[in-house]
Structure 1
Amino acid sequence: MYQDYPKRIKALRRSQEISQAKMAEELDISERTYRDIEHGILSPRVDLLSKIAQQLGTTASDLLR
């Protein structure tokens, strides 16, 4: 269930044609950290997950569904 959120993040980002570098910049994190979140290597804190969701026009709850 919750393991799928990295795939959702990646799919939403790609559908909006946003690069990983741009997302990282907007979130004020390194590109490496953002890439690791998308690959499920790192789990973002709740506040960062909310920022990611906001950048993608959704909610953290929807990412975790």
Structure 2
Amino acid sequence: MSGTGVMDSAVDGVYETLRLYRHGAFGVRCPDCRAEAGALCLARRSVHRGRRRAYRHQLETTVLVPLLSAAV
């Protein structure tokens, strides 16, 4: 298998794992292609910029300390 084929397989595996567990940008809905959370974007080899932006915005608005202290 060529180096490019190995890299393609590795990227596919990483994206599939992230999608399956809804990690990172795959945890939010894509505003560009309307892919639901946990689904791949229609652009197979990339994650749309809007989806990454929505994920970063979600991180900025999440308050971690009250969530942790509420469990105590």
Shorter-chain TM-score: which interval? 0.3 to 0.5
Greater relative contact order (Cα 8 A, min sep 6): structure 1 or 2?
A: 1
What is the TM-score normalised by the length of structure 1?
A: 0.34
Higher helix share: 1
Structure with higher Rg: it is 2
